[in-house]
Structure 1
Amino acid sequence: MKRRLSILVAVYLVCLACVLALFHAPAHTAVDLASLNDAAMTAKDENWDAKRLAAELDHAYERMAAQKQSRNMELETGLIALLTVFCGALAAALVRIERRMIRPFRQMESFAQQVASGNLDVPLAIDKANSFGAFTESFDLMRTELARAREAEQRANASKKELIASLSHDIKTPMASIRATSELMAATARSDKQRSQAETIVAKADQVICLVDNLFDSTMRELQELAVHPQELSSRDIVAMLSKADYEKAVVFGDVPDCLIYADPNRLQQVFDNILANSYKYAETDIAVSASLEDDMLVVDINDHGAGVEANELPLLTNKFYRGKNAKEKKGFGLGLYNAASFMEGMEGGLECFNKPDGFTVRLMFTLV
């Protein structure tokens, strides 16, 4: 718009300069021969002398020049006024066209680019006084409906993926119990047939666990985090959840102070399942659980007596899909501690991993009510 107005001003100035040059150029005024002849005859009849004749001619010439100058000034003023009015009207028309037609279409162009890029949060400015007000309002309604539809689709997909991830992880715990029991049956079988049957159960349990791991992994790749809904829980619930997760009966409990904490029972159960499963897999020792109150937090330490983790790997243990050097021969996807840390953060707590002289410790911190 500024460019158009600049061009219009330039055209106006050029036209104005042409008008001024036309009316202020040196004029070669033609002498009215008829008037001079009449003056000469009058002078001859009345016996005027030459000086008086010259004065009369000069006076007549001045009157003619003044009349011409007056007519030129009137014509110049009229042309300038007409040119000014025309350019002003044209400028007003350009401003109106820019405001009422061109600007709304430019906004529509920007709006269409935002929608095409998937950004449905930027509304389209609506001027109901504009001729295109109803038109732009329809497009903004379309954006709103698209945003609602996408949000509903995302919620539905997230719910389905969350359900799949929760079920796949919950299936692992009973399958691990079935596998451990079947291994015990195979070890204590009284006949080869019983031993073979028990080993078949172990093999099938491993197959189901592998399938569940694959399902959980593919779901978690799409669902970056599962919803966490903290609520008030008693610290006694921690003991019950750990006992539920301890299918190898390797946990030795210490004292747990009575208190109320913020936690999601479903997600906390998954945290304990992951931590104990890692201890079973990598340490294969007894697991000591202790708890204490520190700075308005309940701190729970889960300590095994294995070889621990190399110091340079400790900060990486809660990264997604990270697996340490000691995990090369073990099955897994590097999601256990990643999920546990994410869940603890969602419950307004925290998770830390560190080595101790007698093994490896996972520390869980819970906010007190």
Structure 2
Amino acid sequence: MLLKLSDLHINDYTAIVNKLNRKKVVLGFDGFIDIIVKPIQSGHVGNNPDYFETLKSFGNYISSRHELSGSIELETIMEKIGGNVPNTAAAMKSLGARVVCIGALGYPERHPLFLETFEPEEMISVTDPGQCISFEFQDGKLMCALNKSINDMDWNIIKSRVPLEKLMDLYSMSDMLVFVNWSELPHAGQIWEGVYDEIFTKIPEGKWVLFDLSDCTRKSDEQIREGIKIIRKFAQKSRAILSLNENEGKSVSQALFGKALAGEAEGRRILEYTGASVVVFHHLDKTFSFTPDETYCFNNYLIKKPCISTGGGDNFNAGFCCGLLSGLSVPQSTVLGSLCGSYYVENAKCATFPGIYEYAGKLANGKML
């Protein structure tokens, strides 16, 4: 079913915000400090430089340095909180949900950048954050991660720094669980298994649970199948959501079915294979959501000159999940997620419901097309 902007049809967003104010989301387990940069093609910072506009042009330049050498000046655009957990949590909080982040937020003292966005009670930190230098282009981004102590974080370290009883209470009282960045956390599978075995099987069933694997290109097909196997276990006792961008969808499809495709047929096959309640493909131009009964498609509003792209997928996930948490339907949540992602990429800040309401109105009236 092709969705339109009017399918969002939210008449009273204050009622939705009031619902979200009573919903708690627990997210784990990463945390980064992002340094957003633009590589300079000619000129210098402070003197109207020309940037590499596309990832392709930047790649061509790098290739041209083969057997030579080169130097590239970077202009820092901003330094901000990063990682899928902080980005998603910040966006969900902006929409009205109550959040608790578990992960690499600074240990023993929390990193001051996280304290600018979250209250102390919204953060449970078990190690220091990694660092990510994100190269921004009009057609995408290149993220270079320095994982540091994140690579050592496993389930035993988490339990040694957060009492299991506290984790049990948090997950038991939550309305949604969020598991993200499986690909960049070396022990993510072991952590997810630990949560399932020691906590999830002992708390009420039927919760919403979001999974986002992140860029899987470094993972083997066998590793991806192992990750999906864990998701299938959760899906038996929850309303599981698997959210994938186009690249991730192709990686999962390749691992499960032997073809690197991410179209409607693959989405439905992944839904059936995982047992999830919803599978989402958030491509650059379209968003697909798959349920056992229907396939929905929404044409995304494309930003010609992005202000930022790092975190766009996290803001999509936040909008989609907040829609479901507030009682919106899957098609409504699909449109909301797409708008939240576009709003963030265009404005470099998380959406609020008043902001999205105005944004959707401008789109509907053709003022931003």
TM-score category of the 2 structures, normalised to the smaller one: under 0.3
Q: Name whichever structure is richer in helix by fraction.
A: 1
Which structure carries more relative contact order (alpha carbon 8 Å, separation 6+)?
Answer: 2
TM-score of the pair, normalised by structure 2:
0.20
The higher radius of gyration belongs to 1
Structure showing the higher strand proportion among its residues: 2
